[in-house]
Amino acid sequence: MKTIGVLALQGDFAEHIKILESLEVNAVEVRTKNDLDDCSALIIPGGESTVIAKLLFSSGLDKEIKVRVKKGMPVYGTCAGAIIAAKKVAATKGSPEGSEKQFKPLGLIDVEVKRNAYGRQIDSFEAQVKVKGIGEMNCVFIRAPIISKIGRKVEILAKFEGNPVLAKQGNVLVGTFHPETEGKTAVHDFFLKMSSG
């Protein structure tokens, strides 16, 4: 039985574990390189992208994840996870001068992302979005980033107001919304199919 890891350094990892367990999938919290050894795929959850990134680098998990993704390990980054998986993080209006230069994403997928592009927590919202391979679904955007640029090899699976909100390149999936908040399993099911291929 395959084991799906959920990066548990910070953020809403527990919600992803619950979804995976509801799908009768073996799920583990990942905090160390040893934890990652048991995983055939990894979810990077939403949270504080700067905090997660710092903890990734200090633990050495950043290098381990990059190596494993190159070898074919599937990864799904949602919200902050999408920012961390991106190739580049663009400057966002209102962010401290030079903060994007200090932030080093993992470069797992050829996209550029703007952090907190819709505003603060108070500006969070829900929207109906048509997702390729899934259909219409209610998407929750919480301090969501925007995928502002995509590479030629990136497949857009869903858009909202003209911006990609779910995208895939090879074995890497990123989304700017939180499918785990409503207990819906459609995106996780999609990722599990990616992981079993």
DSSP 122: G
- CA angle 123-90-111, nearest 5°? 100
Task: State phi, psi for 9 to the nearest 5 degrees.
Answer: -80, -35
* Tokens 């779910």, located at residue: 166
Residue type, 104: K
Residues facing residue 126 across a β-bridge? 140
CB 165 within 8 A of CB 147: yes
Looking at the annotation, which residues are catalytic? 79, 178, 180
**Sign of the dihedral through C-alpha 125, 111, 17, 53:** negative
Q: Is 38 buried (19+), middle (13-18) or exposed (0-12) by CB count in 10 A?
A: exposed
In terms of residues, how long is the chain?
A: 197
Q: What is the dihedral of CA 129, 172, 28, 180, to 10 degrees?
A: -10
